[in-house]
Amino acid sequence: MPNPFTLGVASGEPLPDGVILWTRLTGLSRPADVRWQVAEDDRFAKVIRQGVARAQPAWAHSVHVKVEGLRAATDYFYRFRSGGELSPAGRTRTAPGPTSTQPVRFAAANCQRFEHGWYTAYRHLADERPDVVFHLGDYIYEYARPAHGVRRVDPADETTTLAGYRARYASYRSDPDLRAAHAAAPWVPVWDDHEVMDNYHGRGDGSDRFLRRRAAAYQAYYEHMPLRVRPRDGGLQMYRRRTYGVIADFMALDVRQFRGPATMLGAAQEAWLVARLAATPVRWRVLVQPLFFTRRFVPGPAPNLRKESWDGQPEQRARLLAAVSQNLVVLSGDVHNAWAGDIVTGAGVTVGAEFVGSAISSNPPVTDGPGVLAANPHLRYFDAHRGYLSGTASATDFRVAFRGVDHVDRKGAPVRTLAEFVTEGRGIRRVDV
Ligand SMILES: [Fe+2]
CB 257 within 8 A of CB 193: no
Round to whole Å and give the CA distance between 391 and 198.
Answer: 29
Tell how far the Cα of 51 is from the centroid of ligand 1, in angstroms: 38
138: left (phi over 0), alpha (psi -120 to 50) or beta: left
Tell how far the Cα of 204 is from the centroid of ligand 1, in angstroms: 19
- Residue 106: Cβ within 10 Å count: 24
Phi, psi of 61 (to 5 degrees): 60, 30
Tell how far the Cα of 67 is from the centroid of ligand 1, in angstroms: 32
The model's pTM: 0.98
Among residues 189, 177, 61, which one has the least CA distance to residue 135? 189
Tell how far the Cα of 350 is from the centroid of ligand 1, in angstroms: 28
Beta strands in 239-347 (DSSP E): 240-244, 248-252, 284-288, 328-332, 338-344
- Residue 54: Cβ within 10 Å count: 11
Among residues 198, 62, 218, which one has the least CA distance to residue 138? 198
Tell how far the Cα of 291 is from the centroid of ligand 1, in angstroms: 10
Round to whole Å and give the CA distance between 213 and 204.
Answer: 10
Report CA-CA distances (Å) from 199 to 259, 274, 300: 11, 25, 23
**pLDDT tens digits in sequence order for the chain, 433 residues long:** 799 999 999 999 999 999 999 999 999 999 999 999 999 999 999 999 999 999 999 999 999 999 999 999 999 999 999 989 999 999 999 999 999 999 999 999 999 999 999 999 999 999 999 999 999 999 999 999 999 999 999 999 999 999 999 999 999 999 999 999 999 999 999 999 999 999 999 999 999 999 999 999 999 999 999 999 999 999 999 999 999 999 999 999 999 999 999 999 999 999 999 999 999 999 999 999 999 999 999 999 999 999 999 999 999 999 999 999 999 999 999 999 999 999 999 999 999 999 999 999 999 999 999 999 999 999 999 999 999 999 999 999 999 999 999 999 999 999 999 999 999 999 999 997 7
Tell how far the Cα of 138 is from the centroid of ligand 1, in angstroms: 5
CB 95 within 8 A of CB 73: yes
In sequence order, the β-bridge partners of residue 55 are 32
Task: Tell me which H or E stretch contains 385.
Answer: none
Round to whole Å and give the CA distance between 153 and 139.
Answer: 13
pLDDT at 70: 98
Cβ burial of 313 (10 Å; 0-12, 13-18, 19+) is buried
In sequence order, the β-bridge partners of residue 356 are 332, 339
Among residues 219, 281, 244, which one has the least CA distance to residue 57? 219
Among residues 173, 181, 198, which one has the least CA distance to residue 107? 181
Tell how far the Cα of 362 is from the centroid of ligand 1, in angstroms: 6
Tell how far the Cα of 417 is from the centroid of ligand 1, in angstroms: 22
Tell how far the Cα of 374 is from the centroid of ligand 1, in angstroms: 25
CB 415 within 8 A of CB 433: no
Tell how far the Cα of 366 is from the centroid of ligand 1, in angstroms: 14
Tell how far the Cα of 195 is from the centroid of ligand 1, in angstroms: 10
Tell how far the Cα of 199 is from the centroid of ligand 1, in angstroms: 11
Per DSSP, the residues of 290-320 read SS--S-----SSSP-S-TTSGGG-HHHHHHH
Give the single-character DSSP code of 57: G
Round to whole Å and give the CA distance between 355 and 330.
Answer: 6
Distance of CA 5 to the CA centre of its chain: 23
CB 348 within 8 A of CB 427: no
Tell how far the Cα of 364 is from the centroid of ligand 1, in angstroms: 9
Distance of CA 427 to the CA centre of its chain: 24
Please, how many CA atoms are within 13 Å of residue 299, restricted to the half-sphere of its CB?
A: 9
Task: Tell me which H or E stretch contains 217.
Answer: helix 208-224
Taking the CA atoms of residue 56, residue 58, residue 62 and residue 65 in that order, the dihedral angle to the nearest 10 degrees is -70
Tell how far the Cα of 142 is from the centroid of ligand 1, in angstroms: 11
Q: Which amino acid is at 203?
A: R
